[in-house]
Amino acid sequence: MRVNLDKNAANEQKWSLRAATYDDQRHDYFRFMQKQLISLAEIRPPVNFLDLGCGTGWAVCYVAQLASGNGHFVGVDISKGMIEKSRSNAKGLPNVQFQEASSEDLPLEADFFDTIICTNSFHHYSKPEAALGEARRVLKPGGRLYVLDVTADDFFIRRVDARVRAKEKEHVKFYGSGEYKAMFDNAGLKHIASRRLKIFYPLKVHIGEKAQ
């Protein structure tokens, strides 16, 4: 339990400090990746959309505008600073909401969301299967989860993972595609695919679906 608390506290502190500058132009590559992921998810309004580890809320606002506000658009982040920035960014957008919470314990109703994304935050989760279980709980039957993250499918990335874990206390683990499939299965999500997102080695999208 102490390890989980320490990891969560480290992540809250790190990302709150970065909130003020996270929308700077130097992070545009991250927005491009999110656009690619959202395109893969084939958003069709009306849609109830959730972003886990939403950061400054860019993806939530982007989808809300794509859908012309037709649906509900929610972001969750453990960082108070990120949520404050998200709410500021979303001013004037209808049906957009942000909550400060852990992805491992979502204060959200069951069977509600059509689409959930999680971009480059899954490797920070102390209890990844708990987060997947929560995603399954709040998804509608037939809803899909898209996890985009560095994926340790080769020796080089596994070495990088070991180095990052030794250096950054908020980092938990980069998982391999096989590990994602097993975790999705254990959480009750049908594993649809693990696929490369265009040119972004070693990023992959891992797709899970809640049974109808």
Ordered by where they begin, the domains of the chain are 2-209 (3.40.50.150)
* Partner residues linked to 97 by β-bridges: 74
Task: Judge whether 206 and 184 are in contact, CB under 8 Å.
Answer: yes
Q: Is the dihedral of CA 166, 151, 106, 90 positive or negative?
A: positive
Interval 74-132: pLDDT, tens? 999 999 999 999 999 999 999 999 999 999 999 999 999 999 999 999 999 999 999 99
Coil vs helix vs strand at 144: strand
pTM, to two decimals? 0.93
Report the share of the chain in percent with pLDDT over 90: 83
pLDDT band at 15 (very low <50, low <70, confident <90, very high): low
Radius of gyration over every alpha carbon of the chain, rounded to an integer in angstroms: 16
Q: What is the pLDDT of residue 10?
A: 74
Which H/E stretch holds residue 160?
helix 155-167
Rounded to whole angstroms, the Cα distance separating 132 from 134 reads: 5
Q: What is the pLDDT of residue 132?
A: 98
Q: Largest Cα–Cα distance in the chain?
A: 47
Task: Judge whether 203 and 33 are in contact, CB under 8 Å.
Answer: yes
